[in-house]
């Protein structure tokens, strides 16, 4: 395999790239994201540890929505023998990733496209962080099934994104918005931001877990919960 960047002819149309073609958002992404997501560095470390329970030694890890490169960098630093394939439809976010992962270029291949651009059936683990909340339910299911198809039996998947208890979207998104605002405590502003974030196609916790099972995953376990963010680890069932 050549550890180069690829632009893949995208087989599936995706509507979700929207904000990630915005140069202003991409320019501030690396600074803004750790401010918005509680314990982001620890989330990366937890994802790496959960994957390492099944993917030991020289594993090949798939990262879906790899733009920015933050989780790739964290996992490549911690696991010196792992190699990675990262897919993302946003060229701008992949450029940012390329800058971030420079020291690990020889172990990371980036592909411009969605998960269907990655090779089938060969990965020892997969991560999809801060991405699935942009996809509507049917697109999410297709994405999760595509990830499942690319994992070896019993490999782990780690996901984390916005997901809220039924009926609690506005309250929890406002708490996350207040967390991200490091200059003041302004609940009016936080509620307004929550209104905007509320346009995301969020699923309830129960729907998230059901969707992972429908896509073929088992042993779905919550490992991370921080205001409106939640993360699960799941196992790719063989049947």
In the complex, the smallest distance separating the C-beta of residue 48 from ligand SAM, rounded to whole angstroms, is 13
> Using CA atoms, how far apart are residues 73 and 177, in angstroms rounded to an integer?
26
Nearer to ligand SAM, 14 or 167 (CB): 14
**What residues make contact with ligand SAM under the rule CB under 6 A?**
14, 16-17, 20, 33, 64-68, 70-71, 87-90, 93, 114, 129-131, 134-135, 143
- Between 136 and 154, name the residue whose CB sits nearer to ligand SAM: 136
C-beta of 88 vs 124, nearer to ligand SAM: 88
**CB of 212: closest distance to ligand SAM in angstroms?**
16
Pairing of strands 60-64, 108-112: unpaired
Q: Which is nearer to ligand SAM, 7 or 58 (CB)?
A: 7
What is the three-class DSSP state of 236?
Answer: strand
d(CA 92, CA 20): 7
**Do 140 and 206 contact (CB within 8 A), yes or no?**
no
Beta-strand (E) ranges in the chain? 5-7, 60-64, 83-88, 108-112, 123-129, 151-162, 217-226, 229-236
Q: Residue 71 or residue 124: which is nearer to ligand SAM going by CB?
A: 71
Shortest reach from residue 16's CB to ligand SAM, in Å: 4
Contact 234, 156 (CB under 8 A): yes
Torsional class of 36: left (φ above 0), alpha (ψ -120 to 50), beta (otherwise): alpha
Residue nearest to ligand SAM (CB): 67
Q: How far is the CB of 22 from ligand SAM (least distance, A)?
A: 11
Least CB distance to ligand SAM at residue 156 (A) = 17
């Amino acid at each position: 395999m050549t550890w180069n960047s690829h632009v893949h002819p995208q087989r599936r149309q995706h509507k979700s790239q929207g904000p990630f073609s915005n140069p202003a958002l991409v320019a501030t992404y690396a600074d803004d994201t750790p401010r918005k997501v509680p314990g982001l560095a620890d989330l990366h470390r937890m994802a790496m540890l959960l994957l390492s329970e099944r993917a030991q030694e020289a594993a090949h890890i798939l990262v879906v929505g790899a733009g920015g490169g933050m989780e790739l960098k964290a996992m490549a630093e911690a696991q010196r023998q792992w190699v990675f394939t990262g897919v993302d439809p946003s060229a701008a976010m992949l450029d940012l990733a390329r800058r971030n992962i420079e020291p690990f270029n020889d172990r990371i291949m980036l592909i411009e496209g969605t998960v269907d651009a990655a090779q089938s059936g060969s990965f020892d683990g997969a991560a999809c962080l801060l991405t699935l909340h942009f996809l509507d339910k049917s697109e999410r299911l297709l994405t999760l099934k595509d990830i499942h198809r690319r994992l070896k039996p019993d490999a782990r998947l780690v996901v984390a994104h916005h997901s809220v208890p039924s009926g609690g979207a506005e309250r929890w998104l406002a708490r996350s918005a207040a967390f991200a605002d490091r200059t003041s405590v302004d609940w009016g502003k936080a509620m307004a931001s929550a209104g905007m974030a509320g346009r995301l196609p969020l699923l309830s916790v129960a729907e998230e877990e059901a969707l992972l099972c429908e896509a073929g995953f088992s042993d779905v376990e919550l490992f991370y919960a921080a205001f409106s963010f939640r993360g699960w680890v799941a196992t790719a069932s063989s049947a």
